Amino acid sequence: MSALSAAAKKGLGDPALAELVMIRASQINHCAFCLDMHLTIARKSGVSEKQLDLLEAWEEAGDVFDERERAALALTEAVTVLTDGFVPDEVYERAAARFTDAELAHLTGLVAVINGWNRVMVSRRIPPGGYAP
Amino acid sequence: MTTYTEDTSTAYASELPVRLRWAEHAPAVYKAMIKLDTAARQGLDPKLYELVKIRASQINHCALCIDMHTKDALAAGESVERIILLNAWEESRHYYTEKELAALELTEAVTVLTDGFVPDEVYEKAAKHFEEAELAQLISAIAVINAWNRFGVTCRMTPGHYQPGQHA
């Protein structure tokens, strides 16, 4: 799983965006351990407090997130909540317009793997706070 | 078995194009997924493993994954009835063992995280039927199929072309 995360993150080539994506998925999946871990990493990577504060309401957050980040977050939400339907064409196309095929493949991988981690941590009820950078 | 692709006399809708051949664009990620999948299935009964994969894929609506794991299940000797009734396993309990039912219940709870946490009673039931190492494998298997489902749906990998054992 760690190798998978590392490969996806490396291929995306945007550590700050990677953290935003992983935090957003962990919010949706209610993974306390993952939120604690990725918020810690995000702060260390220089992601702004304003972005972290407003991430849950990114759609209404004006210019706090740029169009590339917004496209990635929209895709993250669609890919995370598969039970409600498929990944809509407009969401996919919005991301495809701002990411290369290789970036998009890695972004999808990143969302898939954080969804995997969220499931392992929630199932096993791993408490938050155990992560040390 | 006649498949829809061999039936040329019926005017089926056209097949949707694949959005992204992700494995070609992210080969290291694909390799890591294969390794993870291989590790997750260790120690799990192959039939149970396929039931879990099919059920998660149904919930996540992953067409490629349903196609693949149904075929793999049949190839592993699974019965058609158990696959057909899987979507309504709660009302078809007499087709499954208590252990399989506990695994299916856990699969659903872990797959639909957005609706809440994994309830204690669901976890405890699984913990009663699976010893710790096996339970860890089961949770890993559920997490991995959920990841595969996300690649399949996002990249719109089309069903119908999988042959059992193709990736074995």
Would you list the domain boundaries of chain B? 24-154
Nearest-5° Cα angle at A93, A92 to A98: 100
CB pairs under 8 A between A and B: 136
Calculate the CA B57 to chain-centre distance.
5
Of B155, B153, B161, B156, residue with least CA distance to B4: B161
| Residue whose tokens read 């993952």 | A34
Nearest alpha carbon to residue B49 among B155, B148, B152: B148
Would you say A104 and B132 are in contact if contact means Cβ atoms under 8 Å apart?
Answer: no
CATH class, B24-154 region: mainly alpha
pLDDT of residue A16: 96
Q: How far is B12 from chain A (nearest CA, A)?
A: 21
- Nearest of A1, A99, A130, B140 to residue A22 by alpha carbon: A1
CB A75 within 8 A of CB B154: yes
Of B32, B36, B142, the CB nearest to A119: B142
Rg, Å, chain A Cα set: 14
Distance CA B46, CA B78 (A): 10
The pair phi, psi for residue B7, each rounded to 5°, is -90, 100
CB contact under 8 A, A3 and B110: no
Structure tokens at B5: 């692709």
Using CB atoms, which residue from A80, A92, A115 is nearest to B19?
A92
pLDDT tens over chain B, length 168 residues: 456 666 778 899 999 999 999 999 999 999 999 999 999 999 999 999 999 999 999 999 999 999 999 999 999 999 999 999 999 999 999 999 999 999 999 999 999 998 878 999 999 999 999 999 999 999 999 999 999 999 999 999 999 999 987 876
Locate A37 and state its tokens.
Answer: 């871990």
d(CA B131, CA B14): 47
Q: Quickly tell me which residue has 């664009």 as its tokens.
A: B25
Distance CA A9, CA B83 (A): 37
A97: closest CA of chain B, how far (Å): 13
Distance from C-alpha of A24 to C-alpha of A10, rounded to nearest angstrom: 19
Specify the pTM. Answer: 0.93
Residue B22: closest C-alpha in chain A: A105
Give the count of alpha carbons within 13 A of B12, CB side only.
10
pLDDT for residue B97: 98
Identity of the residue in A29, A106, A124 whose CB atom sits nearest the CB atom of B114: A29
H or E segment and range at residue A23: helix A15-28
Q: Supply φ then ψ for residue A127, to 5 degrees.
A: -70, 155
CA distance B1 to chain A (A): 29
Q: Residues of chain A whose C-beta is under 8 A from some C-beta in B?
A: 1, 3-4, 7-8, 10-11, 28-31, 75, 78-83, 85-87, 92, 96, 101-102, 104-106, 108-109, 111-113, 115-120, 122-125
Model pLDDT, residue B166: 80
In the predicted model, is pLDDT for residue A84 greater than 90? no
Q: Which residues in chain B have Cβ-Cβ distances shorter than 8 Å to A4? A: 29, 32-33, 36, 147
pLDDT at residue B3 in the model: 60
A38/A34 Cα distance (integer angstroms): 6
Q: How far is B18 from A38, CA to CA, in rounded Å?
A: 32
- Check residue B17 and report its DSSP letter: P
Measured CA to CA in angstroms, residue B159 lies from A79, B4, B15, B63, B76 at distances of: 19, 11, 9, 6, 19
pLDDT value, residue B168: 63
| Amino acid B9: pLDDT | 84
Domains of chain A from N-terminus onward: 2-123 (1.20.1290.10)
Measured CA to CA in angstroms, residue B47 lies from B15, B70, B96, B162 at distances of 30, 11, 11, 18
Whether residue B117 and residue A122 make contact (CB cut-off 8 A), yes or no, is yes
